[in-house]
Amino acid sequence: MRKATSVKSKILTALSTGETFTTKQLARKAKTSTVNVSRRVYDLRSEGYMVYANPVKKGNGVSYRIGTPTKAIIAAGIQAVNA
């Protein structure tokens, strides 16, 4: 029996390609709702993935991508751990 792939892992796989995806595009790839995409992106961030959200020019949409954290983000994290 084949094990089903989770929505979170489908989203992570898509974002790992380095491309930028809108919420609707990720929902289509993961075969889920746009609300569920936002929740899974939140879960990925809480696991340590740097998922960036950028506003889309048309409407109130958001596009997501995985990126490298800046030096300022790393410094803030180290400072928070040391505090």
Would you list the domain boundaries of the chain? 7-82
In Å, how far are 22, 26, 57, 74 from 60, measured between CA atoms?
11, 16, 8, 29
pTM (predicted TM-score): 0.79
Tokens of 39: 């929740």
d(CA 81, CA 71): 15
What kind and span of H or E run contains 81?
Answer: helix 71-82
CATH code of the region 7-82: 1.10.10.10
State the number of CA atoms in the 13 A half-sphere of 64 facing the CB: 26
Tokens of 56: 């889309």
pLDDT in tens, 12-70: 999 999 999 999 999 999 998 888 999 999 999 999 899 999 988 877 789 999 998 88
